[in-house]
Each structure stands twice: as structure tokens, then as C-alpha cells.
């Protein structure tokens, strides 16, 4: 159907693209540690060695009834429903920092169960709805 030149170009392009996709895949795979924005409490437990001078970002859900606010700091527990980690933080709290919603805390690990955060970010989910609908869902 196509001429010889056209066929050759199609072949050439598919070959280049295949190689390129493979390269990008391998690069991203090897950089996975840097591409992920945060790690879960379970992954903290599984870490081979903890670098106490390095900042870690830990993400998960704020455990229900775990937020403990006092005058100059807030303490809470991040859970991924398998493991948990306690976080202590002092500073500005984002608006959407709520129990049972996502959070990412960045700071230094004191040990595998305790993180002293210097920054916390709220991570909301993909659900959007009016307040009335949320109420109706709750009643169910």
C-alpha cells in the first residue's frame, strides 16, 4: 500500500520510540526513590537504616481521635492502616488538616515510631460533593 520509503520511516520511528520508552521506563524505575513524594509508615518500619540527619516525608491518614493540640505544638498519628507513626509539629497548620484525611509530614525521624515535623501538608482525596450530600451520606 505504502511506498518503500514510507515503510522504512514507520519502522525507524517505531524502533526509536520503543528504545526511548524503555529508556524512560528504566530511568524512572531507577529514580523511583526520588520520584515518590512521600513514604508510608510501613515503609519507615522496613527501612534498612535510618539517616537521622536526612529529612523524610511520611504520608498517610491522620488517625481518628489522635490529634492533640496544645499551645505551641500539635501531636498526631499518621496511619496507613498497617503501621503507625507519631508526629510532633509546631507551626502553621493547613486548612484541610483534619482527622481521617490525608496528610504528608516532612521532618527528621527520631526513631521508627516518631517524626519531628518541620512542615505538614494536607492531602485531600478525589471526592468532591456539596455539604448536604456529605450529610446525607453520613446518615446512611
Partner 1 sequence: MFEYFNPYRIFKINSILQKIIFFCFILVLSIGLVEALFLSPEDYLQKDSVRIMYVHVPAAWISLGIFSTIAFLSISVFIFKNKNLILISKSLAPSGILFTLIALVTGSIWGKPTWGTWWAWDARITSMLVLLILYALYLLSFRIFKDQVRSNKISSMIAIFGAINIPVIKFSVDWWNTLHQPASISLTEKSAIHSSMLVPLVIMTAAFALFSVLIFLMKYNTELIKIKNKGLKRL
Only one of the segments 35-43, 45-53, 70-78, 81-89 lies at the binding site for partner 1 (rule: CB under 8 A); that segment is 35-43
| In the complex, least distance from residue 72 CB atom to partner 1, rounded to whole angstroms | 19
Query: Binding partner 1 by CB under 8 A: which of 4, 52, 54, 127?
Result: 127
Q: Which residues from 37-66 bind partner 1, rule CB under 8 A?
A: 37-40, 59
CA proximity to 108, closest of 51, 33, 32, 42: 51
β-bridge mates for residue 118, sequence order: none
By rule CB under 8 A, what count of residues binds partner 1?
42
* Residue 27, phi then psi, degrees to nearest 5: -60, -50
Asked if 36 touches partner 1 (CB under 8 A), the answer is yes
Distance CA 107, CA 87 (A): 9
Q: Which residues from 70-109 bind partner 1, rule CB under 8 A?
A: 92-98, 101, 104
Distance CA 73, CA 86 (A): 13
CA proximity to 57, closest of 72, 44, 75, 68: 44
Query: Binding partner 1 by CB under 8 A: which of 90, 132, 139, 140?
Result: 132
| In the complex, least distance from residue 38 CB atom to partner 1, rounded to whole angstroms | 5
Amino acid at each position: 500500500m505504502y511506498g518503500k520509503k514510507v515503510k522504512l520511516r514507520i519502522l525507524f520511528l517505531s524502533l526509536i520510540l520503543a528504545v526511548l520508552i524503555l529508556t524512560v521506563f528504566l530511568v524512572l524505575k531507577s529514580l523511583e526513590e526520588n520520584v515518590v513524594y512521600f513514604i508510608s509508615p510501613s515503609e519507615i518500619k522496613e527501612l534498612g537504616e535510618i539517616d537521622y540527619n536526612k529529612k523524610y516525608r511520611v504520608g498517610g491518614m491522620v488517625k481518628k481521635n489522635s490529634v492533640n493540640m496544645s499551645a505551641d505544638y500539635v501531636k498526631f498519628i499518621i496511619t496507613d492502616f498497617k503501621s503507625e507513626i507519631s508526629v510532633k509539629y509546631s507551626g502553621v497548620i493547613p486548612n484541610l488538616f483534619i482527622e481521617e484525611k490525608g496528610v504528608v509530614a516532612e521532618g527528621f525521624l527520631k526513631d521508627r515510631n516518631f517524626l519531628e515535623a518541620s512542615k505538614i501538608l494536607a492531602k485531600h482525596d478525589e471526592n468532591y460533593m456539596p455539604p448536604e450530600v456529605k450529610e446525607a451520606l453520613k446518615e446512611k
